[in-house]
Amino acid sequence: MSDVRITHIGGPTVLIEAEGWTLLTDPTFDPPGRRYAFGWGTSSRKVAGPALRPGDLPHVDAVLLTHDHHGDNLDDAGRTVAAAAGTLATTPSGARRLGAHARALRPWQTTRLSAPGRPDIEITATPARHGPPLSGPFVGQVTGFALTWEGQRHGALWISGDTVLFGGVREVARRFTVGTALLHLGGVRFPLTGPVRYTMTARQALRLCAEMRPHTAFPVHYEGWRHFAEGRPGIERALAAAPSETRDRIRWLPLGAPHDHEA
Protein backbone atom coordinates (compact mmCIF):
# COMPACT_ATOMS: atom_id res chain seq x y z
CA MET A 1 0.00 0.00 0.00
CA SER A 2 1.32 3.43 -0.95
CA ASP A 3 0.60 6.72 0.83
CA VAL A 4 1.05 10.16 -0.66
CA ARG A 5 1.08 13.58 0.99
CA ILE A 6 -0.58 16.34 -1.02
CA THR A 7 -0.37 20.04 -0.15
CA HIS A 8 -2.42 22.54 -2.14
CA ILE A 9 -0.40 25.76 -2.21
CA GLY A 10 -2.86 27.75 -4.32
CA GLY A 11 -4.27 27.87 -7.85
CA PRO A 12 -2.77 24.91 -9.74
CA THR A 13 0.27 24.64 -7.46
CA VAL A 14 0.40 21.39 -5.53
CA LEU A 15 3.23 19.71 -3.62
CA ILE A 16 3.18 15.92 -3.95
CA GLU A 17 5.34 13.78 -1.66
CA ALA A 18 5.38 10.07 -2.48
CA GLU A 19 7.82 7.21 -1.86
CA GLY A 20 10.64 9.61 -0.94
CA TRP A 21 10.04 11.80 -4.01
CA THR A 22 8.95 15.43 -3.90
CA LEU A 23 7.15 16.82 -6.94
CA LEU A 24 5.61 20.23 -7.55
CA THR A 25 2.95 21.12 -10.10
CA ASP A 26 2.75 24.49 -11.91
CA PRO A 27 4.79 26.67 -9.51
CA THR A 28 3.13 30.03 -8.83
CA PHE A 29 4.57 32.01 -5.92
CA ASP A 30 4.21 35.68 -6.88
CA PRO A 31 2.33 37.91 -4.40
CA PRO A 32 -1.19 39.07 -5.32
CA GLY A 33 -2.08 42.35 -7.00
CA ARG A 34 -0.40 42.11 -10.40
CA ARG A 35 -2.24 41.81 -13.72
CA TYR A 36 -0.85 39.22 -16.17
CA ALA A 37 -1.37 39.18 -19.94
CA PHE A 38 -2.34 35.82 -21.43
CA GLY A 39 -2.23 36.80 -25.11
CA TRP A 40 -4.80 37.77 -27.75
CA GLY A 41 -6.04 40.65 -25.59
CA THR A 42 -6.85 38.55 -22.52
CA SER A 43 -5.50 39.22 -19.04
CA SER A 44 -6.28 38.62 -15.38
CA ARG A 45 -5.33 39.89 -11.94
CA LYS A 46 -4.00 37.65 -9.18
CA VAL A 47 -6.08 38.29 -6.05
CA ALA A 48 -4.63 35.80 -3.53
CA GLY A 49 -1.07 34.79 -2.72
CA PRO A 50 0.30 31.29 -2.20
CA ALA A 51 -0.28 29.49 1.09
CA LEU A 52 3.44 28.62 1.23
CA ARG A 53 6.52 30.54 0.13
CA PRO A 54 9.38 29.01 -1.88
CA GLY A 55 11.50 28.97 1.28
CA ASP A 56 8.90 26.75 2.95
CA LEU A 57 9.36 24.00 0.37
CA PRO A 58 11.53 20.92 0.76
CA HIS A 59 13.97 20.12 -2.02
CA VAL A 60 11.90 19.61 -5.18
CA ASP A 61 12.94 16.57 -7.20
CA ALA A 62 10.72 17.38 -10.18
CA VAL A 63 8.43 20.11 -11.42
CA LEU A 64 5.46 19.00 -13.52
CA LEU A 65 4.61 22.04 -15.61
CA THR A 66 1.38 21.80 -17.60
CA HIS A 67 2.36 24.91 -19.59
CA ASP A 68 4.80 27.77 -19.23
CA HIS A 69 3.16 30.62 -21.10
CA HIS A 70 0.39 31.68 -18.68
CA GLY A 71 1.23 33.48 -15.46
CA ASP A 72 -1.37 31.58 -13.44
CA ASN A 73 0.60 28.38 -14.09
CA LEU A 74 4.17 29.68 -14.06
CA ASP A 75 5.04 33.12 -12.69
CA ASP A 76 8.31 34.90 -12.01
CA ALA A 77 8.92 33.41 -8.56
CA GLY A 78 7.79 30.03 -9.87
CA ARG A 79 10.42 30.14 -12.61
CA THR A 80 13.12 30.39 -9.95
CA VAL A 81 11.68 27.35 -8.16
CA ALA A 82 11.45 25.40 -11.43
CA ALA A 83 15.04 26.22 -12.36
CA ALA A 84 16.29 24.76 -9.07
CA ALA A 85 14.37 21.47 -9.38
CA GLY A 86 16.17 18.30 -10.35
CA THR A 87 13.81 17.62 -13.28
CA LEU A 88 11.33 19.74 -15.21
CA ALA A 89 8.74 17.98 -17.38
CA THR A 90 6.56 20.03 -19.73
CA THR A 91 5.27 20.40 -23.29
CA PRO A 92 7.62 20.38 -26.31
CA SER A 93 7.08 24.09 -26.96
CA GLY A 94 7.58 24.88 -23.28
CA ALA A 95 10.79 22.87 -23.21
CA ARG A 96 12.13 24.88 -26.16
CA ARG A 97 11.43 28.12 -24.33
CA LEU A 98 12.79 26.92 -20.98
CA GLY A 99 16.02 25.37 -22.28
CA ALA A 100 18.03 22.20 -21.83
CA HIS A 101 16.90 21.74 -18.21
CA ALA A 102 13.40 20.75 -19.41
CA ARG A 103 12.20 17.35 -20.61
CA ALA A 104 9.78 17.67 -23.54
CA LEU A 105 6.82 15.29 -23.51
CA ARG A 106 4.25 14.89 -26.25
CA PRO A 107 0.90 13.27 -25.34
CA TRP A 108 1.43 9.67 -24.17
CA GLN A 109 5.21 10.03 -24.05
CA THR A 110 6.84 8.98 -20.78
CA THR A 111 9.85 9.85 -18.71
CA ARG A 112 11.10 8.25 -15.52
CA LEU A 113 12.41 9.47 -12.18
CA SER A 114 15.03 7.08 -10.80
CA ALA A 115 17.28 7.23 -7.74
CA PRO A 116 18.92 4.67 -5.43
CA GLY A 117 16.73 3.59 -2.55
CA ARG A 118 13.49 4.88 -4.06
CA PRO A 119 11.01 3.26 -6.44
CA ASP A 120 10.92 4.70 -9.94
CA ILE A 121 8.10 7.06 -10.82
CA GLU A 122 6.92 6.94 -14.41
CA ILE A 123 5.51 10.22 -15.73
CA THR A 124 3.22 10.03 -18.76
CA ALA A 125 2.06 13.17 -20.54
CA THR A 126 -1.69 13.15 -21.16
CA PRO A 127 -3.72 15.18 -23.65
CA ALA A 128 -5.14 18.57 -22.66
CA ARG A 129 -6.98 21.21 -24.67
CA HIS A 130 -7.04 24.66 -23.08
CA GLY A 131 -10.18 25.86 -24.83
CA PRO A 132 -12.76 25.03 -27.52
CA PRO A 133 -12.04 23.02 -30.69
CA LEU A 134 -9.39 24.57 -32.95
CA SER A 135 -8.16 26.86 -30.17
CA GLY A 136 -4.73 25.22 -29.97
CA PRO A 137 -2.86 27.75 -32.15
CA PHE A 138 -4.22 30.59 -30.00
CA VAL A 139 -3.89 29.15 -26.48
CA GLY A 140 -0.73 27.08 -27.03
CA GLN A 141 0.32 23.60 -25.94
CA VAL A 142 -0.85 22.26 -22.59
CA THR A 143 -0.39 18.85 -21.01
CA GLY A 144 -1.58 16.73 -18.13
CA PHE A 145 0.46 14.08 -16.31
CA ALA A 146 -0.23 10.56 -15.09
CA LEU A 147 2.13 9.29 -12.38
CA THR A 148 2.58 5.60 -11.67
CA TRP A 149 4.86 3.74 -9.30
CA GLU A 150 5.09 0.31 -7.72
CA GLY A 151 2.80 -0.19 -4.75
CA GLN A 152 -0.07 2.09 -5.76
CA ARG A 153 -3.26 0.59 -4.38
CA HIS A 154 -5.93 2.49 -6.28
CA GLY A 155 -4.13 3.42 -9.50
CA ALA A 156 -2.35 6.31 -11.17
CA LEU A 157 -2.18 9.84 -9.80
CA TRP A 158 -3.43 12.06 -12.61
CA ILE A 159 -3.05 15.84 -12.99
CA SER A 160 -5.50 17.06 -15.60
CA GLY A 161 -3.76 20.31 -16.51
CA ASP A 162 -5.73 23.29 -17.79
CA THR A 163 -8.22 21.59 -20.07
CA VAL A 164 -11.84 21.39 -21.05
CA LEU A 165 -13.59 18.04 -21.23
CA PHE A 166 -12.88 16.46 -24.62
CA GLY A 167 -11.97 13.11 -26.15
CA GLY A 168 -8.29 13.29 -25.24
CA VAL A 169 -9.12 13.60 -21.55
CA ARG A 170 -11.61 10.74 -21.78
CA GLU A 171 -8.85 8.63 -23.33
CA VAL A 172 -6.97 8.85 -20.02
CA ALA A 173 -9.75 6.79 -18.42
CA ARG A 174 -9.34 4.12 -21.09
CA ARG A 175 -5.56 3.89 -20.74
CA PHE A 176 -5.20 4.21 -16.96
CA THR A 177 -6.93 3.14 -13.82
CA VAL A 178 -6.93 6.51 -12.04
CA GLY A 179 -6.77 6.35 -8.26
CA THR A 180 -6.25 10.05 -7.50
CA ALA A 181 -7.16 12.94 -9.79
CA LEU A 182 -6.10 16.56 -9.40
CA LEU A 183 -8.66 18.40 -11.51
CA HIS A 184 -7.98 21.90 -12.82
CA LEU A 185 -11.38 23.57 -12.62
CA GLY A 186 -12.46 27.22 -12.42
CA GLY A 187 -14.46 27.35 -15.67
CA VAL A 188 -12.01 29.99 -16.93
CA ARG A 189 -13.42 32.66 -19.22
CA PHE A 190 -12.62 36.23 -20.28
CA PRO A 191 -14.89 39.18 -21.14
CA LEU A 192 -13.26 39.42 -24.56
CA THR A 193 -14.34 35.90 -25.56
CA GLY A 194 -17.77 35.83 -23.94
CA PRO A 195 -19.13 32.45 -22.78
CA VAL A 196 -16.21 30.39 -24.11
CA ARG A 197 -14.59 28.27 -21.36
CA TYR A 198 -10.89 27.45 -21.16
CA THR A 199 -10.92 24.96 -18.26
CA MET A 200 -13.42 22.48 -16.91
CA THR A 201 -16.51 23.52 -15.04
CA ALA A 202 -17.71 21.47 -12.08
CA ARG A 203 -20.40 19.87 -14.24
CA GLN A 204 -17.79 18.76 -16.76
CA ALA A 205 -15.62 17.41 -13.95
CA LEU A 206 -18.55 15.44 -12.57
CA ARG A 207 -19.24 13.92 -15.99
CA LEU A 208 -15.58 12.98 -16.24
CA CYS A 209 -15.56 11.43 -12.76
CA ALA A 210 -18.65 9.37 -13.65
CA GLU A 211 -16.70 7.93 -16.59
CA MET A 212 -13.23 7.74 -15.03
CA ARG A 213 -14.36 6.62 -11.58
CA PRO A 214 -11.25 7.73 -9.65
CA HIS A 215 -11.03 6.66 -6.03
CA THR A 216 -10.61 10.35 -5.06
CA ALA A 217 -10.66 13.60 -7.04
CA PHE A 218 -9.33 16.87 -5.65
CA PRO A 219 -10.31 20.23 -7.23
CA VAL A 220 -7.46 22.71 -7.76
CA HIS A 221 -7.11 25.82 -9.98
CA TYR A 222 -10.40 27.42 -8.91
CA GLU A 223 -9.35 30.31 -6.61
CA GLY A 224 -7.00 33.26 -6.45
CA TRP A 225 -7.56 34.82 -9.90
CA ARG A 226 -10.18 37.06 -11.49
CA HIS A 227 -10.60 34.84 -14.55
CA PHE A 228 -11.66 31.83 -12.49
CA ALA A 229 -15.38 32.14 -13.19
CA GLU A 230 -16.48 29.25 -10.97
CA GLY A 231 -15.05 29.19 -7.45
CA ARG A 232 -15.69 26.81 -4.59
CA PRO A 233 -19.30 27.94 -3.94
CA GLY A 234 -20.26 27.23 -7.56
CA ILE A 235 -18.47 23.89 -7.50
CA GLU A 236 -20.25 22.93 -4.30
CA ARG A 237 -23.65 23.78 -5.81
CA ALA A 238 -22.91 21.46 -8.72
CA LEU A 239 -21.77 18.74 -6.31
CA ALA A 240 -24.96 19.02 -4.29
CA ALA A 241 -27.02 18.24 -7.39
CA ALA A 242 -24.88 15.30 -8.52
CA PRO A 243 -25.55 11.60 -7.83
CA SER A 244 -23.92 10.53 -4.57
CA GLU A 245 -21.80 7.85 -6.27
CA THR A 246 -20.00 10.57 -8.24
CA ARG A 247 -20.22 13.37 -5.66
CA ASP A 248 -18.61 11.24 -2.96
CA ARG A 249 -15.43 10.91 -5.01
CA ILE A 250 -14.71 14.66 -4.71
CA ARG A 251 -12.69 15.90 -1.73
CA TRP A 252 -11.32 19.34 -0.86
CA LEU A 253 -7.69 19.99 -0.02
CA PRO A 254 -7.08 22.59 2.73
CA LEU A 255 -4.85 25.37 1.44
CA GLY A 256 -1.33 25.13 2.80
CA ALA A 257 -1.93 22.09 5.03
CA PRO A 258 -0.49 18.66 4.12
CA HIS A 259 -3.12 16.01 3.42
CA ASP A 260 -2.09 12.37 3.82
CA HIS A 261 -3.86 10.25 1.26
CA GLU A 262 -3.91 6.56 0.38
CA ALA A 263 -2.78 6.30 -3.22
Q: What is the mean pLDDT of residues 162-181?
A: 98
Look at residue 1 and tell me whether its pLDDT is greater than 70.
no
What is the predicted pLDDT for the residue at 135? Answer: 87
pLDDT band at 137 (very low <50, low <70, confident <90, very high): confident
Give me the chain's average pLDDT, please: 96
Q: What is the mean pLDDT of residues 150-160?
A: 96
Name the CATH superfamily, with its identifier, for domain 3-252. Ribonuclease Z/Hydroxyacylglutathione hydrolase-like (3.60.15.10)
What is the predicted pLDDT for the residue at 236? Answer: 97
CB half-sphere exposure, 124, CA atoms < 13 A = 15
The string of pLDDT tens digits covering residues 29-77 is: 999 999 999 988 899 999 999 999 999 999 999 999 999 999 999 999 9
Lay out the sheet containing 118-127: strands in order across: 110-115, 118-127, 143-149, 156-159, 178-184, 216-220
The string of pLDDT tens digits covering residues 236-254 is: 999 999 999 999 999 999 9
The string of pLDDT tens digits covering residues 12-34 is: 999 999 999 999 999 999 999 99
